[in-house]
Structure 1
Amino acid sequence: MKNYIAVDIGASSGRLLHSKVIDGKLKIEEIHRFKNGFQRINHHDRWNIDALVREVFIGLEKAKEKGIDHTYLGIDTWAVDYVLINDHQEKIADPISYRDKRTQNQIEQLTSKFSKELIYEKTGIQFLELNTLYQLFVENKALLKKANKLLFIPDYIGFILTGKQVTEVTNASTTQMLNLRSSLFDEELLELVEATADLFAPLTDAGTYLGKVQNKWLDQYDIPEVEVITVASHDTASAVVGVPATAPGNWSFLSSGTWSLIGIETISPVNSQKAFLNNFTNEWGAYGTYRFLKNIMGLWMVQEVKRLYSNDMTFPEMAKAADDYEYFTSVLDVNDTRFTNPENMIEEIRQACRETSQPVPQTIGEIVNCIYSSLAKSYQEELEHIEDIVGKKVEHLYIVGGGSNVETLNQLTADLTNRTVYAGPNEATAIGNVIVQMITMKDLSDVKEGRQLIENSFEIKKYEPRLG
């Protein structure tokens, strides 16, 4: 029976999860968890990429202790951020976080030279300041000239493990630099950021075998024999593979975590004028699909409130406190850039309520209530936009990721959208990571069979809309 390990790293934490099929059901066990976060170094918010690599090896050592001698492994992380590699195949500096303020107002700067309409026609990707296009636009050009290769975070970790360099397409598509027609990095956009196509390793599809972990790591660490598979390395792409969408009819997904991403899975991009005006994106998915979606701020706002609040309430306790107040008393635009990385999220929320002449939340319950109300309202609006743009009615909404555990928000979403909501699994990203590995190794025939396995293996909660 094959062992599969998903390395799933998000902006606030990472984990290694061991998976295998037992009695026809997929079993997932967390074997290592660690914290992640950026730090202010040399005037920028940077990720400690070396520490993340060390945590992967620590997790693999724990796997060996559990008796795992051989395993397949896939890596998924957040998108858009990158590591520059020099001619000696060493990182030039720790990668800068997408939340760093260096890209503020850079959309306006870049699009004064190259129109938004043309960029969207080429790429089909929504305009966000965090996109790699704007990061490279303001990148230190001296460093960029020193770079032999640019590797995105999951591809860099895979390179350290195996010595092989690739650019996995689900992650690369989020850069806003891949051309929908040529399926290559767009030459005109590369010229804008003073880069060339050879800066990037070869584009590689999800489900491609990458290679074995290098012998030097087997000598240095007591780890299993590991074979790395390039999965859908953008965590949202893996999460969508992990959606147990088996109900008949058209469905939409909501990957709910630090970010909320609501959309549909399609076999062709939707880069129409209406999609452009509503700032929807066409991220590439696994196996020739696209994720037509809207990126929404998500539970990052709640995470920041928890970080700032001195009483160390748990997330369930915060959710319970929110229920003590009437919902939709104050509703904010969660996609306002003021909430991307404010000095103080609580004060930013309060100030936004003052500016819009709404009741100002004071208690922790009122603040979380405001966030949940705002998120649910945003989900409703964007689902309506999706239906209008593609001309199809969506019957079901599948919520996956950590936010699938937030029962209050799930019910509010069902109520506002007037649709049946299916919530779970919460580890959809890691599960989707494993499903791609299993398809590569012929344990599953395709994603459809994988989704059926997910539905049979995990509890999926159902929320029906309440009337009135």
Structure 2
Amino acid sequence: MNRYFIGVDLGATSGRVILATLSDGNIALEVLHRFPNRLLQIGGKYYWNIYALYEEILHGLTLAGQRRIPVTSVGIDTWGVDMACVAADGTLAGLPRAYRDPYTNDAPEAFFRKVPRREVYRRTGIQIMNFNSLYQLCAARREGMSALENAESVLFMPDALSYLLTGEKVCEYTILSTSQFMDPRTREIDGGLLREAGVDAALFPRVVLPGERVGLLCEEVARQTGLGRVPVVAVAGHDTGSAVAAVPAENGRFAYLSSGTWSLMGIEVPEPIITDDSYAMNFTNEGGVDGTVRFLKNITGMWLLEQCRAAWSREGKEYPYEQIMHMTEGAAPSPAVIDPDAPEFAAPTDMPAAIRTWCAAHGYPVPADDAALMRLIFDSLAAKYAEVLGRLRSLAPFEIECLHVIGGGAQNDLLNRMTADACGIPVVAGPAEATALGNIMVQARAAGVVGSLSEMRQYIRRSIETKTYEPKK
């Protein structure tokens, strides 16, 4: 018998409503609705239009309802850290502030005057980033944000959207783990840190783990979409948490690389790794399925190439990806590599010029043409992945036997080959749709289709094709 699940996957620039059909041990995905997610800039402040997202989700659910599909459940994943405030009458108290808003730029340093930086890392295991939820709350209190002043509850983005669908409030573990006010050992909110930020921990509802039911679609939504009172299940609400749940690993001795515009490389462990070395290397501990911990590091990914393509396009030079791969493979290996995470590459107006300037400033050969610059980017990314993997190996409680590449980068044949050679271990590429698959499989487990994280991954292995890249000897 076929089982049907709907996964809502929201990124910072776009969203999708995806229908999954599980049949005979296999998964088929169909995108019911794809839509943009645009920042709103109002009065110099940046917001998410949560009402527009809600409408788009309803449209996707309605498309399923029109087809009379017997949906088992719905699950939502989004990006991390951002929050919505709910007033005492149950309405949203304004639009959620977006992590790109510069109001948090100096918030961490102000907070460290109350609690030292190293102490914050010791208590949370989360790398210091100015837009972490803890510093957003500090900045909101400092400016007297009316939404927070009038809030009865504060919900992270996937939980806020689930609330709009069901009327039920929860705080999902994996999305909470990105906040920098969760104790990763107890998986509970650190009320002491919140008090220093001027916020009461009671604003946040009960913590739930992936697979727990949030509630049923409220009567209005059930009627409008035609789905009926379908359950909404808390999946790994943080999109990377859902993606890592879909790693088709056969055992736990792996590292993963969630690869796209930005990359995240890490391992999955049962307990957080919080040491002087992890602090010095700026590794972070985020929540995963089954209470696991994703010990990882953020790395710049294909951002460099995408920004170069944009600059070249302004000059009238259009390079489709197939041509880029051909030009890169035909170019000579780079005599030196750049640091993709250098601050000069964070948001330059002209990325090719920024890369050439960086090379000249560091005494490196400047790429002679576009092909050489493409090759430099690929060589540098592979080298960076190898560097971070080396640091992971020094901290991991097990031997890392292979690297699983998931997300859009799983389809980048050339970079995967170069990464395998640089890292010296097999690279297993796929699935590209890891986030959606992880979202769906958590729902499938809640419905009793599978019984464990290992079985979820086994199910995914049967359903997708992966490609293995062996390193050159």
Q: Identify the TM-score tier after normalising by the shorter chain.
A: over 0.9
- 184-193 vs 50-59, greater mean Cα deviation: 184-193
For the 8 Å contact 2:283–2:295, the answer to whether it is kept is yes
For the 8 Å contact 2:68–2:227, the answer to whether it is kept is no
* Unaligned runs of at least 5 residues, structure 2: none
Secondary structure at the aligned position of 2:403 is classed as strand
Q: Match for 1:393: what amino acid? A: E
Task: Give the 5 Å matches for 1:66-465.
Answer: 66-139=67-140, 140-143=143-146, 144-223=148-227, 225-246=229-250, 250-308=253-311, 309-310=313-314, 313-329=319-335, 331-361=337-367, 365-390=371-396, 392-465=398-471
Give the length in aligned residue pairs. 466
Runs of 4+ in structure 1 off by over 6 angstroms are: none
For the 8 Å contact 1:322–1:364, the answer to whether it is kept is no
Q: Distance in 1 between matches of 2:222 and 2:333?
A: 54
* Unaligned runs of at least 5 residues, structure 1: none
Q: Distance in 1 between matches of 2:370 and 2:96?
A: 34
Q: TM-score, normalised by structure 1?
A: 0.92
Q: Call closer, same or farther: CA 1:230–1:315 in 2, change over 3 Å.
A: farther
Secondary structure at the aligned position of 1:265 is classed as strand
Q: Distance in 1 between matches of 2:108 and 2:374?
A: 31
For the 8 Å contact 2:256–2:266, the answer to whether it is kept is yes
Q: Match for 1:269: what amino acid? A: P
1:264-289 C-alpha deviation (Å, 9 max, x unpaired): 11111110111111111111111121
Q: Distance in 2 between matches of 1:314 and 1:448?
A: 38
Secondary structure at the aligned position of 1:138 is classed as helix
- 22-31 vs 38-47, greater mean Cα deviation: 38-47
Q: Distance in 2 between matches of 1:159 and 1:327?
A: 52
1:22-61 C-alpha deviation (Å, 9 max, x unpaired): 2321222222212223243321333222222111112112
Q: Call closer, same or farther: CA 1:414–1:119 in 2, change over 3 Å.
A: same
Q: Call closer, same or farther: CA 1:314–1:57 in 2, change over 3 Å.
A: farther
For the 8 Å contact 2:17–2:60, the answer to whether it is kept is yes
1:172-218 C-alpha deviation (Å, 9 max, x unpaired): 01111112344322233112321110121221111111122111123
Q: Call closer, same or farther: CA 1:344–1:148 in 2, change over 3 Å.
A: farther
State the 1:329 CA deviation.
4.6
Q: Distance in 1 between matches of 2:308 and 2:79?
A: 21
For the 8 Å contact 1:72–1:227, the answer to whether it is kept is yes
State the 1:314 CA deviation.
4.0
1:293-348 C-alpha deviation (Å, 9 max, x unpaired): 11112234444444553456444444444334334455332233444444554444
Q: Distance in 1 between matches of 2:318 and 2:160?
A: 35
For the 8 Å contact 2:289–2:453, the answer to whether it is kept is no
Q: Call closer, same or farther: CA 1:445–1:120 in 2, change over 3 Å.
A: same
Q: Match for 1:128: what amino acid? A: M
For the 8 Å contact 1:353–1:360, the answer to whether it is kept is yes
Q: Call closer, same or farther: CA 1:223–1:395 in 2, change over 3 Å.
A: same
Q: Call closer, same or farther: CA 1:343–1:113 in 2, change over 3 Å.
A: farther
Q: Call closer, same or farther: CA 1:134–1:330 in 2, change over 3 Å.
A: farther
Q: Distance in 2 between matches of 1:85 and 1:249?
A: 40
Secondary structure at the aligned position of 1:323 is classed as helix
Q: Call closer, same or farther: CA 1:372–1:86 in 2, change over 3 Å.
A: farther
Give identity over the alignment, percent.
Answer: 36
State the 1:64 CA deviation.
2.6
Secondary structure at the aligned position of 2:448 is classed as coil
Q: Call closer, same or farther: CA 1:78–1:300 in 2, change over 3 Å.
A: farther
Secondary structure at the aligned position of 1:95 is classed as coil
Q: Call closer, same or farther: CA 1:329–1:183 in 2, change over 3 Å.
A: same
State the 1:165 CA deviation.
0.9
Q: Call closer, same or farther: CA 1:215–1:123 in 2, change over 3 Å.
A: same
